[in-house]
């Protein structure tokens, strides 16, 4: 039973919605962010000051004590890719291990683990190579250099469109390379709530026709 979840990046578009979705499901959410006033408000959400650029692994490990899962949704929007998107994620993973939290869910991105796809559409035109490289190392560190029980979610482009509750976990030639932020947030919440289906998996996602819960159970 997942009772306590720490979210790194809880002021973000995805992180804040995932915090609310989990809080609504009765999870105690510890919402980490730099600006406490921008963290989502809910009776089940506890705000925690956290600057990933400054925090040491030991400081992060103290904050993670007693959690059932860590959800990492932070990112620098291309401004500090090494320090936040890559090494910030690695520090959070090391801190999870240090504090005895075994479960780690990482928000990643489309084809991060397939560099051969980066020069093909739709990524070719998106100018995302440095972002993809940073995330490549974060994803690989989680899978290859930790013993954490991980799930990596790799959505396509994030859009500020309404919740649909339906996704697909394949990218095909007919796929639209877009998913709504509330759908990505709810998919992360369901992944957190269902380790029995999602442990040690890399899950691709984009907008689709399958209810989220069915899609991640496959």
Nearer to ligand NAP, 77 or 140 (CB): 77
Nearer to ligand NAP, 51 or 62 (CB): 51
Nearer to ligand NAP, 198 or 206 (CB): 206
Neighbours of 120 (CB within 10 A): 10
Which residues bind to ligand NAP, rule: CB under 6 A? 9, 11-15, 33-35, 38, 50-53, 73-77, 84, 107, 109, 155, 157-158
Q: Compute the least distance from the CB of residue 108 to ligand NAP, in Å.
A: 7
Nearer to ligand NAP, 12 or 147 (CB): 12
Paired sense of beta strands 69-72 and 45-49, if any: unpaired
146: Cβ contacts below 8 Å, ≥ 6 apart: 93, 94, 96, 97, 104
Q: Compute the least distance from the CB of residue 156 to ligand NAP, in Å.
A: 7
Strands (E), the chain: 4-8, 28-33, 45-49, 69-72, 103-107, 149-155, 157-159, 166-168, 178-180, 201-207, 210-211
Q: Compute the least distance from the CB of residue 135 to ligand NAP, in Å.
A: 6
Comparing every residue's Cβ against ligand NAP, the nearest one is: 75
Q: Check: CB of residue 137 under 8 Å from CB of residue 81.
A: no
Q: Compute the least distance from the CB of residue 131 to ligand NAP, in Å.
A: 7
Nearer to ligand NAP, 26 or 162 (CB): 162
The span from the CA of 127 to the CA of 131, in Å, is 9
- CA 207, 81, 50, 35 dihedral sign is negative
Q: Compute the least distance from the CB of residue 153 to ligand NAP, in Å.
A: 9
Tell me the β-bridge partners of 49: 33
Nearer to ligand NAP, 178 or 194 (CB): 178
Q: Compute the least distance from the CB of residue 70 to ligand NAP, in Å.
A: 13
DSSP 212: H
């Amino acid at each position: 039973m997942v009772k306590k979840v720490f979210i790194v990046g809880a002021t973000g578009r995805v992180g804040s919605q995932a915090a609310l979705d989990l809080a609504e499901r009765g999870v105690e959410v510890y919402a980490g962010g730099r600006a406490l006033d921008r963290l989502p408000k809910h009776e089940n959400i506890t705000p925690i000051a956290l600057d990933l650029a400054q925090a040491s692994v030991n400081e992060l490990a103290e904050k993670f004590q007693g959690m059932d899962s860590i959800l990492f949704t932070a990112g620098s929007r291309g401004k500090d890719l090494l320090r936040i998107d890559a090494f910030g994620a690695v520090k959070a993973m090391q801190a999870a291990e240090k504090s005895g939290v075994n479960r780690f869910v990482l928000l990643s991105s489309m084809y991060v683990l397939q560099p051969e796809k980066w020069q093909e559409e739709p990524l070719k035109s998106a100018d995302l190579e440095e972002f993809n490289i940073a995330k490549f190392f974060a994803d690989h560190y989680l899978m290859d250099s930790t013993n954490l029980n991980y799930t990596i979610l790799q959505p396509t482009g994030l859009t500020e469109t309404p919740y649909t509750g339906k996704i697909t976990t394949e990218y095909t030639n007919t796929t639209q390379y877009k998913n709504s932020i509330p759908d990505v947030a709810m998919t992360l919440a369901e992944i957190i709530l269902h380790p029995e289906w999602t442990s040690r998996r890399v899950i691709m996602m984009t907008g689709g026709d399958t209810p989220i819960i069915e899609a991640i159970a496959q």
